[in-house]
Structure 1
Amino acid sequence: MLVIDGLTCQFGSKTAVSDVNLEIGQGAFIGVIGRSGAGKSTLLRMINRLQDPTGGRILFEGRDVTGLRGQDLRLWRARAAMIFQQFNLVGRLDVLTNVLMGRLAEMPAWRALTKSWSADDKAMALSALEQFDIANLAAQRADSLSGGQQQRVAIARAMVQAPRLILADEPIASLDPRNTKVVMDALLRINKHFGITVLCNLHSLELARTYCDRLVGMAGGKVVFDGVPSQLTPAVAHDLYGLEAGEVMDLEIPAASGAHAPAALPATAAPSHH
Structure 2
Amino acid sequence: MIEVSQLSVVAGADKRKIIDQVHLRFEQGEMIGVVGPSGSGKSTLLRCLALRTPWTTGRYTFEGKEVIKSGGRGSSEYRSKFAYLEQSPELNLQKTALKNVLIGQAGQTSWIRRLTGSIRSDDYMGAMDELEKFGLLDKAHVQAGKLSGGERQRVAICRALVHGAKLIAADEPVIGLDKYATEKVLTTLKELCTNDKSTVVAVLPLELAEQYCTRIWGINEGRLQWDIKGRRLTQEEKQLI
The alignment's TM-score, normalised by the length of structure 1, stands at 0.82
Aligned with 1:129: secondary structure? helix
Residue in 1 that maps onto 2:89: 87
Partner Cα separation in structure 2 for residue 156 and residue 21 of structure 1? 30
Distance 2:48 2:187 in 1: 26
CA contact (8 A) 1:209 1:229 kept: no
Match of 1:167 in 2: 169
Shift of 1:64: 2.3
Q: Which residue identity does 2:208 align to in structure 1?
A: L
CA positional deviation for 1:100: 1.1
Give the deviation of 1:102 after TM superposition: 3.1
Q: Which has the larger radius of gyration?
A: 1
Q: Deviations over 1:73-127 (max 9, x none)?
A: 1x41211112221011111111111111331454123223333211100101111
- Indicate whether 1:230 and 2:231 are aligned: yes
Counterpart residue number, 2:61: 59
* Matching residue of 1:239: 240
CA distance in 2, matches of 1:114, 1:11: 41
| Counterpart contact for 1:85–1:173, Cα < 8 Å | yes
Q: Residues 106 and 119 of structure 2 are in contact (CA less than 8 Å); yes or no, is this contact kept in structure 1? A: no
What is aligned with 1:255? none
Supply the distance in 1 between the matched residues of 2:212 and 2:228 (Cα, whole angstroms): 14
Question: What is the CA–CA distance in structure 2 between the aligned matches of 1:47 and 1:122, rounded to whole Å?
Answer: 29
Output the amino acid matched with 1:222: R
**Residues 236-258 of structure 1: CA deviation (Å, up to 9, x unaligned):** 11221xxxxxxxxxxxxxxxxxx
**Amino acid in structure 2 at the alignment position of 1:225:** W
C-alpha distance in 2 between matches for 1:231 and 1:134: 33
Measure the CA separation in 1 of the matches of 2:230 and 2:176. 24
Corresponding residue for residue 216 of structure 2: 215
In 1, distance between residues paired with 2:176 and 2:92? 18
Count, aligned residues = 236
Unaligned runs of 5+ in 2: none
Which residue of 1 is the match for residue 11 of structure 2? 11
Shift of residue 232 of structure 1?
0.7
Is this contact kept in 2: 1:8–1:16, CA < 8 A? yes
With 172-181 and 99-108 compared, the bigger mean Cα shift is at: 99-108
Q: Report the counterpart of residue 107 of structure 1 in structure 2.
A: 109
Contact 2:170/2:201 (<8 A) preserved: yes
Please list the CA deviations of residues 26-52 of structure 1 after superposition, one character each: whole Å capped at 9, or x if unmatched.
Answer: 111111111121111101111222110
Who is 1:260 aligned against?
Answer: none
Partner of 1:119: 121
**Percent of residue pairs identical:** 37
Q: Secondary structure at the match of 1:160?
A: helix
**1:104–1:53: structure 2 CA closer, same or farther, 3 Å change rule?**
farther
- Is the CA contact 1:148–1:175 (under 8 Å) kept in the aligned structure 2? yes
| Structure 1 segments of 4+ aligned residues over 4 angstroms from their partners | none
SS at match of 1:78: coil
- SS of residue in 1 equivalent to 2:142: coil
